Amino acid sequence: MTAQDESARSALGATRRHLSPQLALVHGMNGSGAIEARGEGARVRLSDGRSALDFGSYAVTLLGQRHPAVVAAVRRELDTLPVSTRVLANRTTAGLAEALTAWADPGRLTKVWLGLNGCDAVEAALKLARLATGRTRVVAVEGAYHGKSLGALATTWNARYRRSLEPLLGGVTHIPAQVSALPGAFAGDGEDADDGVAAVLVEPVQGEGGVRPLEPGFLRALADAAHAHGAFLIADEIQTGLRRCGPRLVSTDLGVRPDAVLLGKALGGGVQPLSAVVATPELYEPLSADPFVHTTTFSGHPLGAAAGLAALTSVEELAPRGAELSELFAAGLTGLAGRHPSLIREVRGQGLLWGVEFATPAAAGEVLTELGRNGLVVSPCLGRPEVLRLLPPLIATDEEAKEALAILDTVCAAVPDEFRPQDRS
């Protein structure tokens, strides 16, 4: 047994003993017994020497693995002041807040709260909405995923994660993504503030929900209804923002004027955990009045802030490349669906967020496992297990994009007949 083999065996054993036996099983299958060892660009090197294209990582690696500008920024901060005293101002944290307000919606979204992950941002935004309005109700959309912390979980749709923890945060109503559902969503809103809606929380494109872009007309009507009833509109762009789907923010690009946008995943440049709430002064008022009404020890952590500043600059520099890759994947995945009609039901997405819906969850699982063995990492959808997500990085070359599409084509062609319903073509 080589040293690399022993390292993988040890890591999987520790995962089994101290994290989860099921997690160890999944990791072992996905890596064929190997573990991730090193990342660079669009690729991850495995402990057995193989290389895999990283078109997954749950949307974190938009800039690829170890983007040089982000790594350099974090190293400079590490050599200067890697942790804040929390009782003195920090130039890097303040700099990121200023950069985010200039980047998101200048002059309107002028306030920032910083966290470490998407749940942090969701929890902070919901808390602010309730404090600012004095109301308690929240409207979300069927199929939504906003996280699994106890407050955020109440706005997440998937019963798999909710059922054993109910009752959750009260007053959350999930509505279908249809304009006709809007009047009922605000029923009871009126004289009694406790019956009023504090916030409407929505993903412009549902990621974990199967890469489901919501209709622009619905999003605009939802925003209008929220504001007409005195509620704040919160756009969850933790997965879709930062040009993952093309524009800086999908919501503002569609003409929806959210009172806050939530950012995360790629915001740390694939190097540091980082999230943000970028909000209007009205929604942010409770924190303006009392900055200690919602705090976390590592909010605005200098290393994360340094990564975020570098990530914002790098994403903008690579925006034209994202448009080129988007066209390549749109054409390539459409062709893939046409060649495998019995296996693939639909391809959905935009920019660098694509979902391939398979005939069954079992078929998607078979493809997911074989993709890993053939050198392509993608992300499954927790809420829609029949859908696999392709999340290519902005730094991918045409050759790497074509390689990924070729691997996907080869794996689909080799799926056993037992996973294929009768050909619909």
DSSP 154-222: HH---HHHHTTT-S-SS-EEEE-S-GGGHHHHTTT-SS-GGGSEEEEEE-SEETTTTSEEPPHHHHHHH
Judge whether 367 lies within some domain.
yes
* Predicted confidence band of residue 47 (pLDDT cuts 50, 70, 90): very high
In a domain, 424, yes or no: no
Q: How many CB atoms lie within 10 A of CB 331?
A: 11
Element (DSSP H or E) covering residue 362: helix 361-373
| Residue 224: strand, helix, or coil | helix
- Give the pLDDT mean for 197-215: 97
Q: What is the pLDDT of residues 377-394, one digit of tens each?
A: 999 998 899 999 999 999
Do residues 180 and 119 both lie within one domain?
yes
Q: List the Cα angle 117/121/125 in 5-degree steps.
A: 170
The number of folded domains in the chain is: 2
Residues 154 and 268 grouped into a single domain: yes
- Both 75 and 106 in one domain: the answer is yes
Residue 424: how many CA atoms within 13 Å on its side-chain side? Answer: 14
Q: Is 212 domain-assigned?
A: yes
Structure confidence by residue, pLDDT tens digits, 163-204: 888 888 888 999 999 999 999 998 865 545 446 999 999 999
- Whether residue 300 is found in the same domain as residue 331: no
Structural domain contains residue 277? yes
Where does a domain end: 314, 345, 362?
314
Average pLDDT estimate for 410-414: 97
Task: Give DSSP secondary structure letters for 241-260.
Answer: TTTTTSSS-HHHHTT---SE
The pTM (predicted TM-score) of the whole model is 0.95
CATH number of domain containing 129: 3.40.640.10
Is residue 425, in this structure, part of any structural domain at all?
no
Query: Higher model confidence: residue 163 or residue 371?
Result: 371
- Are both 37 and 83 inside the same structural domain? no
Taking only the tens place, the pLDDT of each residue in 271-284 is 999 999 999 999 99
Residues 240 and 112 grouped into a single domain = yes
- Asked whether residue 18 is assigned to any structural domain, the reply reads yes
- Domain span including residue 262: 68-314
Whether residue 287 sits in one domain with residue 205: yes
Residue 60 and residue 143 share a domain: no
Last residue of a domain, one of 289, 314, 339: 314
Together in a domain, 323 and 196: no
State residue 348 phi and psi, 5-degree precision. -135, 150
pLDDT (tens digit per residue) in 105-121: 999 999 999 999 999 99
- Examine the fold and report which residue of 272, 287, 314 is the final residue of a domain before the chain moves on: 314
For residue 24, pLDDT beyond 80: yes
Whether residue 210 sits in one domain with residue 109: yes
Residues 234 and 270 in one domain: yes
